[in-house]
A and B are shown apart, each in its own frame.
Chain A
Amino acid sequence: MLLDALTLQLGYNATLVAVGAALLGTAAGITGTFLFLRKRALVSDAVSHATLPGVCIAFLLMAFAGGDGRNLAGLLLGSAVTAGIGLWCMNWLTRNTRLAEDAAIGAVLSVFFGFGIVLLTVIQTLGVGRQAGLEGFLLGSTAGMLYSDALVIAAGGALALLVVLLTRRPMTLVAFDPEYAAARGLPVSRIDMLMMGLVMAVTVVGLKIVGLILIVALLIIPAVTARFWSERSDQVVLLAGLFGGAAAYIGAALSASAPNLPTGPIIVLVSFALFALSLLLAPNRGVLAAVLRHQRFQRRVHLRQGLLALAQGQAIYESLTLRLLRRAGLMRADGVATAKGKARAAKALRDERRWDVVRSDMTHEAAAALYDGLRDIETVLTQDQIQDIDRQIGGPSEVPA
C-alpha cells in the first residue's frame, strides 16, 4: 500500500495530494529558512493563526452573496487579508510600543485565533451555505481536494520560490547583518516585509493541506533540520527545500496508504522524524558526533597529560590516564614507562616548548589558532619551521632522555 502511494498508484486524489504537498513542502522549507536565519521563526505562527478570521469572514461574505461559501480562492484571499492585518499589528506593536516581539506574537496570535473560533462557531449555528469542512482549515483536510485546489497550491508555491530566487542575496545579507545591510542602502524593513509576505503566501496556500495550526512546523522544522548538515546558508536553504518537499510527499503518501490517517499531522511527524535523525546523526552538529568527539577528546587529554607527567617524573593518579597509557604500550603494568613511553613523553614536552614559541610569534598566527594543547606540532608546521623553532629553544640535549 505504501509503495503504491509513494509511486502515485493510489488513485487520482491521492496523487493530487502528494504532488501538491511536495510542492508546498519545498516552498515552505525554503521560505521558512530565511525566517529561521533572521531569528523570527515564531512570527509565522502568529501569521498562520491570524488567517482563521479571514477564512470565516470570506465564507460569510460569499455565502450571503449567494455564491458557494467554500470557493477555495475566495477563502484564501480572505485569509491573506487578516493574516496581513495580523502582521501589520505585530510590526506596529514592536515598533511603537515597548512590547518585545515575543509578546506581540502572543497577543496577535491568541486574539486573532480567538476571534476566528468565535466566527467559526457562529457560522456553524447559523447554518448558512454548506459550512461543512470549514473547520478543516484548522488541521488541514485533503479528502475532497480538487484539481483546481492543487493548481492554486502549485502556483502559489512556484511564485514564492521565484521571489526567493530573485531576492536571496539581500534577504541573506539582512538576516546575517541588518546594520551593514542598512549601511549599504538596502531597504531593510521592506526586505523584512517581503520575507513575511512570502511566509504569509506559503501559509495561505498550505491551509488546505496542513491547516493553520501545523503550518509553522513546515516552515521551521526543515530549516532546523538542514542546519544540522551544512555551515553555508545557500546549502541550508536548498537542503531545507529538499527536506520539506520529501517530508510532505512521504507524509501525504503515508496518510493515503491507510484509511483515517490525517495528512497534515502525518506530514509534520515525518518532518520531525527527519529532524530527529539529523539531530542524532549529523556529522558536525549532531548529538552522536558530539558525544564521540567528546570521548575522543577526553582520551587525548588524558594521554597527553599522562605523557607530560611521565616526562617530568610526576605521579599519575587518574585511573583512566593509567589505563590509556598501558593500553597504548607506553607504560608497564607496574607503572614504569616503557622505552616507547619515554620517547613519546620527551617529544610531548618538547612540543609544549615549541608551541610556546609558535604562540608568541605573530608570523605563526594561523598555526597558533589551532593550538589546543593536544595537537602534534608537525601537523601544523613544516619540518623546516620546526627546526627553526628548535634553534630558538636550544639544542635537543635539553630534552630529558
Chain B
Amino acid sequence: MSVEIVSAQGETPPTAAQDAKIAQSPLAIRGLTVSYGEKPAVFSVDMTVEPGQMTAIIGPNGAGKSTLLKAALAIVAPVSGRVTIFGRPLEEQRARIAYVPQRASVDWDFPTRVIDVVLMGLYRELGLLGRIKGNHRAKALDCLERVGMADFASRQIGQLSGGQQQRVFLARALAQGADLYLLDEPFAGVDAATEKAIISVLKSLREAGKTVVVVHHDLATVVEYFDNVFLINTRRVAEGPVARAFTEETLQAAYGGRLATTQVNQLAKA
C-alpha cells in the first residue's frame, strides 16, 4: 500500500523534485510547530497543497487543524517552521490569499451591514482614504449574489442566521479575488441550504483554477466534497488524494480509538 503515513522524524532530505513541488504549491509548509504555552498544538508538520484542487484538513478535536491554518497565515506566531505561498514568502503573497475565519470569532452585534462586511474584502483596492464607489458596491453585490445573499445586502449582520453569516464571510473572501482560499470550519453549525451553497461556490472556484483548503469536521462528506485530505493529530498523519490517504488505516491512526472500527470502514468505503 502506498499510503503516506509519516512519522514526525521521517522527514526525507529535500530533493530537486521536492523543491520544484514547493515552488508550485499554493501553500507549502515545512517543519511547522505551534505551541500554546509549552504544549505543542501542531508539531513539526509538513504540508504541500496541490494547486487547483480542494483539500480538507481533518482530524479529531484539538488536533491543531485551525491552528495549522492560522499559523500558515501568521495569525498565530509559530515556534518554528517555514511557509511559502506559490513558492514565495507569505508577506509578499498576502493579496493572493483569502481567509474565511470561524463564524464565532467575531461579535455579530457589531454595527455594520452585510454589504459593509463584503466591502471589507475590497480593503486593499479601497486604500486608506479612497471613497466607496458604485463599482465597488456592484462587485460586493455580485459576490453576495454568488452565495445567494444579495437580498440581504442592507440587513444588519445581527439579523442573520448562522448559515447566512457564514455565506457573508465567504462573499467577503470572494470579493478579494484571491488565488488561494483558506476556510476554517465553514460547515460547522450551518443549515443544509448553506452547506449546498458553499460547496457549489467552492467547486466553481476550483473550476476557475483556484485552490481551496478547508478545515473540515464532517467525515461523512469528505469523499463527496474533496480531492485531497490532510489528516492531522498534532503531527501529520497522512496526506494525499482522498482515495489513497482517507482509509481505514489512516483514520484509525488519526482518531485512535475515538471512531468505532465499523464507522471507519463505512467512511473509507463511501
- The answer to whether the Cβ of A167 comes within 8 Å of any Cβ in the partner chain is yes
Binary CB contact string for chain B from 115 to 158 against chain A (1 if under 8 A, 0 otherwise)? 01100100110101100000000000000000010011000100
B91 touches A231 (CB 8 A): no
Binds B, one of A56-64, A65-73, A175-183, A271-279: A175-183
Chain A residues within 8 Å of B73, by CB: 182-183
- Interface residue? B82 (CB, 8 A): no
**A contact residues around B110 at 8 Å (CB):** 37, 175-176, 233
Assembly CA distance A39 to B110 (angstroms): 10
Number of interface residues of B (CB under 8 A): 34
Does B43 reach chain A (CB closer than 8 Å)? no
Interface size class of A (residues with CB under 8 A): 20 to 34
The docked-state distance in angstroms from the alpha carbon of A231 to that of B154 is 11
A176 pairs with B94, CB closer than 8 A: no
Is A177 a contact partner of B120 (Cβ separation < 8 A)? yes
State the Cβ distance, B84 to closest chain A Cβ, in Å. 15
Query: Which residues in A have their C-beta under 8 angstroms from that of B126?
Result: 169
- For A350, list chain B residues within 8 Å (CB): none
Q: Is the CB of A231 within 8 A of B107?
A: no
Note all chain B residues with C-beta closer than 8 A to A167.
128
Taking the closest CB of chain A, its distance from the CB of B131, in whole angstroms, is 11
Closest partner residue, chain A, to B193 (CB atom)? A362
- Indicate if B112 sits at the interface (CB-CB under 8 A): yes
CA distance A236 to B101 in the complex (A): 25
Min Cβ gap A109→B in Å is 25
**A190 at interface by CB-CB < 8 Å:** no
Would you call B97 and A173 a contact (CB within 8 A)?
no
Q: A166-B129, A176-B112, A180-B99 are in contact. Are A369 and B94 (CB under 8 A)?
A: no
Considering only CB atoms, which chain A residue lies closest to B164 in the complex? A369
B257 at interface by CB-CB < 8 Å: no
Q: Within B187-205, which residues are at the interface with A (CB < 8 Å)?
A: 193, 196
Q: Which of A182-237 contact B (CB under 8 A)?
A: 182-185, 227, 230-233, 235-236
Interface contact B97-A183, CB-CB below 8 Å: yes
How many A-B contacts at CB < 8 Å in the complex? 74
Measured CB to CB, the closest approach of chain A to B75, in angstroms, equals: 4
B101 close to A232 (CB less than 8 A): no
Q: Mark B100-119, 1 if CB is under 8 A from A, else 0.
A: 01000111001111001100
Closest to B130 in A: A169
Question: B259 in the interface, Cβ–Cβ < 8 Å?
Answer: no
Q: Nearest Cβ in chain A — how far from B24, in angstroms? A: 22
Task: Give a binary string over A150-184; 1 marks a CB under 8 Å from any B CB, 0 the rest.
Answer: 00000000000000011101100101110110111
A39-B107, A169-B123, A365-B148 known; A184-B94 Cβ under 8 A: yes
Is B217 interfacial (CB 8 A cutoff)? Answer: no
Q: Which of A166, A182, A362, A369 contacts B75 (CB 8 A)?
A: A182
B75, A176: Cβ atoms closer than 8 Å: no
Chain A residue nearest to B98 (CB atoms) is: A183
Q: Name the interface residues of B176-231: CB closer than 8 Å to any CB of A.
A: 182, 193, 196
Q: Does A280 reach chain B (CB closer than 8 Å)?
A: no
List residues of chain A with CB within 8 A of the CB of B172.
180
Nearest-CB distance from A33 to chain B (Å)? 10
B161 at the interface (CB under 8 A from A): yes
Residues of A within 8 A of B129 (CB): 165-166
* Given known contacts A177-B101, A184-B124, A366 and B152 CB-to-CB distance under 8 angstroms: yes
Q: Which residue of the partner chain A has the closest CB to B126?
A: A169
Find out whether the CB atom of B120 lies under 8 angstroms from the CB atom of A173.
yes
Closest residue of chain A to B93, judged by CB? A185
Check A227 against B105 for contact (C-beta < 8 Å).
no
Residues of A within 8 A of B111 (CB): 37, 227, 230-233, 235-236
Q: Give chain A's interface residues, CB within 8 Å of chain B.
A: 37, 39, 165-167, 169-170, 173, 175-177, 179-180, 182-185, 227, 230-233, 235-236, 362, 365-366, 369
**Interchain residue pairs A-B with the least CB separation, the first 10:** A183-B99, A366-B151, A185-B94, A182-B75, A179-B101, A183-B73, A231-B156, A177-B106, A233-B111, A231-B111
Provide a sorted-by-A list of 18 A–B residue pairs whose CB atoms are within 8 angstroms: A169-B128, A170-B128, A176-B117, A177-B105, A177-B106, A179-B70, A182-B73, A183-B73, A184-B94, A230-B111, A231-B113, A232-B112, A235-B111, A236-B111, A362-B196, A365-B148, A365-B193, A366-B152
Given contacts A165-B129, A235-B111, 14 further A-B contacts (CB under 8 A): A39-B107, A176-B112, A176-B117, A176-B120, A179-B101, A180-B101, A183-B99, A183-B101, A183-B182, A184-B94, A184-B99, A184-B123, A233-B111, A365-B148
